[in-house]
Structure 1
């Protein structure tokens, strides 16, 4: 029998089509990013490894969003200047496409996208409910977004992709991703795991949860009829992301996860991750 016509191959192709559809909007003429030998990172980079695993990036992405929304100014920028309440899937897709482009796309394309994001951020300004002004291009806010993304992506990769990842390779990941953070105007920028953890600890006194962060968390966790999690068991993906959150962040969000559930959640998420790797192999 022709291997290309086997039932397993049909399943693999179906999974691939659905996942590709999640990250690319045909109405906008989007197609998957082509991996370039002239990207910001080379093929042997840690970033190529971490960002190439769909399942762990999805889980890490949810975790990073939940952490980001605990900063009042980051939350305000999203609340005041985006349509996330009507199109959460679109927002997640754009974030995923930014990561894919800056990781794998041609250098010139990545640099243009970074500049475009900086230009958009120039117009994202406003006031917090207490009257404190904010601006999206504030280096400290950009640093918070960067450090929550990188720590969450890496944590998900270590848990579901490479549990024995060396400390040196983990530090190398942060050193590589500093290129993107600096280009976006973030400061301070971590170049090791310990530096990233130190920045998070320094930011913790500024973090809080309120009615607006609860609403964003509800939208992220409950999803909708059209969500970037459509091809993962949604509840499992959300639980895996909640499990990945630092305990203090779970407490701020009021999220609970009984310890006896964690082995089941992790086993299920690992199974989904292995299925997606099989489909894209």
Structure 2
């Protein structure tokens, strides 16, 4: 059932959530307009239900970045060509907004945004410290980024909100294909089995790096959530690391201390379940429902 908090608390939660998607100087996206314009993904999709949950997105996003940083060409491109080290919060805000626009935004807005991202990728190229050439427009690397992101969000929702069946994860992959192709990830895995095959094929290319430890340090210190919720931020960070497959964590040197303690797992699931019912009327999910003539709490029912 949909959950609405007492007005003062609801306003504070709404403002906190909104701040995470509005980088200073960034574009102002109106998800409620233009009326009737569809998104790249339909409102009855699994994607619309998963992406409304901030716990699934946070933990899944952490897992995705850990997997991306394990690949040396992606790692070098991210670390040398983005502002993550100097402005981690701004980088996270821009990434989060891009994800929301891709799933919920009016199709025209999403297509323009993705085209802009692709143009920016064209200028990102170089050589890794190990001598490997890389380009952010490389279809193989785009495929890896797409696969790890989808893996993270699916795992984040399945572990921390509601278990997903193999068929549901396959459905999620199918829903993501149109956007993946726009981003240039033509060979993005079409199913959960294909993602597992890709992970196996990438096994020998994944490697540890001091950059991974630096990423986790930055994520612990960044003011992503307001001070009263900072312990939750640290908890969800470790929950995200734990989503990474065990063999990858072992390969990257991520010990048990980077994951959750046994008693913390039910706590994260409780937070995830609560977040799945909490209606954020000003958020992209609710506003996009209004754009399509649905109620603001449409995705929070059942």
TM over 0.5: yes
Equivalent residue, structure 1, for 2:63: 63
d(CA) in 1 for partners of 2:30 and 2:256?
36
Number of residue pairs matched? 273
User: Which fold has the larger relative contact order, with Cα–Cα distance below 8 Å and residues 6 or more apart in sequence?
Assistant: 2
Q: Compared with structure 1, are the counterparts of its residues 120 and 107 closer, same or farther at alpha carbon in structure 2 (3 Å cutoff)?
A: same
Equivalent residue, structure 2, for 1:3: none
Q: State the secondary structure of the residue aligned to 1:118.
A: helix
Any stretches of 5+ residues in structure 2 without a counterpart?
Answer: 280-296, 298-302
Map 1:83-94 → 2, pairs under 5 A: 83-94=83-94
Q: State the secondary structure of the residue aligned to 1:42.
A: coil
Q: State the secondary structure of the residue aligned to 1:134.
A: strand
1:227 aligns with 2:221: no
1:124 aligns with 2:121: no
- Cα shift readout 1:198-245 (whole Å, capped 9, x = no counterpart): 11111121111122333234323x232x22586461221112112211
Is the Cα contact below 8 Å between 1:61 and 1:153 reproduced in 2? Answer: yes
Quote how far apart the aligned CAs of 1:31 are. 5.0
d(CA) in 1 for partners of 2:68 and 2:244?
11
Equivalent residue, structure 2, for 1:33: 31
Q: State the secondary structure of the residue aligned to 2:20.
A: helix
- Cα shift readout 1:142-168 (whole Å, capped 9, x = no counterpart): 0110100001100111112222x3322
Higher helix share: 1
1:209 aligns with 2:194: no
Equivalent residue, structure 1, for 2:272: 273
Equivalent residue, structure 2, for 1:17: 15
Is the Cα contact below 8 Å between 2:239 and 2:259 reproduced in 1? Answer: no
Q: Compared with structure 1, are the counterparts of its residues 84 and 26 closer, same or farther at alpha carbon in structure 2 (3 Å cutoff)?
A: closer
Quote how far apart the aligned CAs of 1:124 are. 0.1
Is the Cα contact below 8 Å between 1:62 and 1:241 reproduced in 2? Answer: yes
Quote how far apart the aligned CAs of 1:83 are. 1.6
Q: Compared with structure 1, are the counterparts of its residues 54 and 229 closer, same or farther at alpha carbon in structure 2 (3 Å cutoff)?
A: farther
Quote how far apart the aligned CAs of 1:177 are. 0.7
d(CA) in 1 for partners of 2:30 and 2:108?
17
Q: Compared with structure 1, are the counterparts of its residues 70 and 95 closer, same or farther at alpha carbon in structure 2 (3 Å cutoff)?
A: same
